[in-house]
Structure formats: structure tokens, C-alpha cells
Amino acid sequence: MVAAKAPALAATPLVGSAGPLTLVTQGNGGPPPGIVVVGEAKLSYKPDIAYLTFGAVEQAATAEAAQTQLATRLAKVFERAKSLGIADGDIASGTYNIAPQYAYNPGSAPRISGYQATQQLIVTLRDVKGVGRVLDAIVRDDGATTASIRFALTAGKDPELDARTRAIQDARDKADAMAKAAGVRLGSAISVSDASSPSYPSLDYSLAGKAAQAPSTQIPTGDVELTVRMQVQFAILGS
């Protein structure tokens, strides 16, 4: 006597204009049947904080000399930042690296030709309107050699909370339409997960050809626009 095998779990994708829609059916002993959808909501807000990451690179014949030159350069940048009213607590150390540089000659082993030291500092700017002024100060007169800026919101402010709620409602609306089309009743949410890939606006500031007397840099903040996606599986109650 051969026992009959339980039917396998089947996931039937349905094409929808608003994102992936999947109807999950169930075999004996499998996970509960359901409808899997991705709800979406967009949000827009004005950033009130900026993170300025800048760094410098120095090369010298010895590791000690490279370190000394780098420390001297960044000490000037640090003092400029403080002179603009930036608190010590808003200036943090980033990456630091010192590595040998090699010379390659045909027919011989590579030899150390010098050392390169690099370091980054991260400055928290609580006045986003002053980003350009701070940027100009830290790059002038042999200051920072690299810089990038990221805009965000201060801790405790999460505009995505409301967007997630709207995205879940969007998912329910899609699932309800699917259930009606399939002739079944929609149940409660079985699982919910964030399918977003959150990102915040950032820009790299090119220092090539930056003249000491160049016009002040203008960094428009504008609005931050994000899209929140929530994947939700709803139970199927039957027809």
C-alpha cells in the first residue's frame, strides 16, 4: 500500500501594476495559505541635520613623517571647525589608515617607496543652512582633500512611521482586491516585513581646482523624498 503524498506548497505570482502580488495555496502540513503583497507609500520632508565627512591624505618617505604631516593638516581643519561654533562633541573620528606604497620594477621584487596616511573626520551640522560655509572653511589653504555630505533628520523624528502605516494599508487594499478576484475572504495579516531600501540624499564634493578665493559654496538641501515598501502576507479564510 502506497501512501499518497501531500500536495506541495504552491505560490502563484500575479502581475499587478502596483507591485508583486502572490497567492499562496497550501498542502497538508504546509504553511497557512495566504496572499502576499507589497504595499507602498511615499514621503517627503525637510532635513534638519547634516553629516559632513571629510578627510585628508599625506604621503612621505617614512610612516612617522606621513602621520605627522596628516596630523598637522587635520589639526588646522579641526580648529577651523571649532571657530565656526561646532562643538567638540559634534566632531568624531572616522577611518584612519597608514599603509606602505610600493614601487614595481620589471625583474625585481616590489620595494617600499614610501607611506601613505589617510584619516576621516565626521562633523554633525545642526544648521543645514550653514553647510556651504563650513565646507569652504575646511577645504581652504591645504585643508581637507575629500568631503561628502549626508542630510537627515535628528534622532527621535521618524517620518517613516506614518509612511509604514500607509504602506500596510496599501498592501491590504491590494490583497482585498486579489481576494475578491479569487473568490475568497481575506483574513488577518500573518507576517509583515519592511521591504524598503532606505537611503538619504548625499553628495560628494569635488575639491579639484578649488580656489582659495572662489565664491562661497551653495548646498541646497531641498526636500528628502523616500519610498517605503512593506511586504505583508494575509490569511485566506475561504469562500
- Residue 91 domain flag: yes
- Residue 131 domain flag: yes
- Residue 4 domain flag: no
Task: Please give the Cα distance from 79 to 56 (Å, whole number).
Answer: 15
**Which domain range does residue 97 map to?**
49-152
Query: Does pLDDT of 202 surpass 80?
Result: no
Query: Does pLDDT of 234 surpass 70?
Result: yes
- Residue 23 domain flag: no
Query: Does pLDDT of 58 surpass 70?
Result: yes
Residue 2: predicted pLDDT: 29
- Residue 190 domain flag: no
- Residue 34 domain flag: no
The dihedral through the CA atoms of 84, 65, 212, 209 has a sign that is negative
Residue 11: predicted pLDDT: 45
Task: Please give the Cα distance from 116 to 137 (Å, whole number).
Answer: 24
Q: Which residue's C-alpha cell is 555630505?
A: 149
**Length of the chain counted residue by residue:** 239
CATH code where residue 112 lies: 3.30.70.2970
Question: Could you tell me the pTM of the whole model?
Answer: 0.61
Q: How many domains does the chain have?
A: 1
- Residue 122 domain flag: yes
- Residue 160 domain flag: no
State pLDDT tens for residues 128-164. Answer: 888 888 888 888 888 888 888 888 877 666 777 888 8
Query: Does pLDDT of 210 surpass 60?
Result: no
Mean pLDDT of the region 103-107 = 90
